[in-house]
Amino acid sequence: MSSTLELTQQLMQLDSITPRDEGCQELMIARLEDMGFTIERMPFGDVSNFWAHRGHSGPVLCFAGHTDVVPTGPVDQWQSHPFHPTIRNDHLFGRGAADMKASLAAFITATERFVAARPNHAGTIAFLITSDEEGVATDGSVRVVEALEARGQHIDYCIVGEPTSDQVFGDTIKNGRRGSLSGHLIVHGIQGHIAYPQLAKNPIHLAAPALAELAAEVWDDGNEYFPPTSWQVSNIHSGTGATNVIPGHCDIKFNFRFSTEHTAETLKDRVHQILDSHGLAYELHWLLSGNPFITQPGALTDAIGSAIHEVTGVETVLSTTGGTSDGRFIKRIARELVEFGPINASIHKLNECVSVDDIEPLSRIYEKTLLKLLA
């Protein structure tokens, strides 16, 4: 058993359902302290976070990730217990296997080998670890970044261990993510008897033309890094449950996944223009989960891309697809940031797993990236 596989299993045995950490970070911290890292525990609310660093000069290379995992779902529908890591058919099964305890273990073992061979390495190695990525993400990386930014800490290169590989391990690096902007729209009408529509105003009927226009809007054409901005309704609710009552309001939730062609403010302005043009009486509450970010091809993408090829023989591609990650917070203080990790096909599912054959190569890729940027 490789040291990376062993540590992955140790982390997976801890049921760190978000925002709990359940000792994962202390397990990592003990290994980092043995390597001479300075540890700064940074808890906020119920969330465990830490910042660790070894070195006092630039460049700063930071490994970033999360110890929390999503809930298991029905445990009796798993083929083995989600917190009893089990190997079968050459795969390691359990919650967090791919997202992202294999990456956390690979961060540690890659750093251990690098430091053992180069105790006086150039630059600084850092770790930014949270237990609040899979949850509301209000007391995790965002709070740590705010504290680091306030004291002038910057990161030159950041590797987030999200599971990015698609069909084959190593085939995809995320060098950016789309922004996410949600809206909660309440369209007001007048409730009344359905037999007397002249005495009421149906908010569903009033909202429908505006929703149709929003759905047909071409927000942008995307660019070389991002697909076109997308607007999607996720929920519509109205009515009392009775078949003879015109409702008094219609409750609509929607979301933008947007590119760098827009800001949150330009999208908000256009939505209000469309709603106002239909003469609606409405309330609209906004929530910005994250702005889009991009890392242009450069030293970090070249280093990790060549490391992937040297270890696996795979030619990787850059991508900005998928959901949000803590990269949206860390990019504020990181000059270059990428995400790279195992195949993501099973994440958040029952019987989440990672190929055993990919775990040690993942560590070797992180180690080679360290060599290319800090040796």
Catalytic pick among 99, 133, 352, 360: 133
Catalytic-residue membership of 68? yes
CB 213 within 8 A of CB 282: no
Catalytic pick among 68, 134, 162, 336: 68
**Cα–Cα distance between 4 and 6 in angstroms, integer?**
5
Number of Cβ within 10 Å of residue 344's Cβ equals: 18
Catalytic-residue membership of 302? no
- Read out DSSP for 176-212? EE-EEEEEEEEEE-B-EETT-GGG-B-HHHHHHHHHH
Which sign does the torsion angle of CA 53, 55, 57, 59 carry?
A: negative
**SS3 letters for 40-51?**
EECCECCECEEE
What is the CB-side half-sphere exposure of residue 265 using CA atoms within 13 A? Answer: 0
CB 320 within 8 A of CB 177: yes
Known catalytic residues? Answer: 68, 133
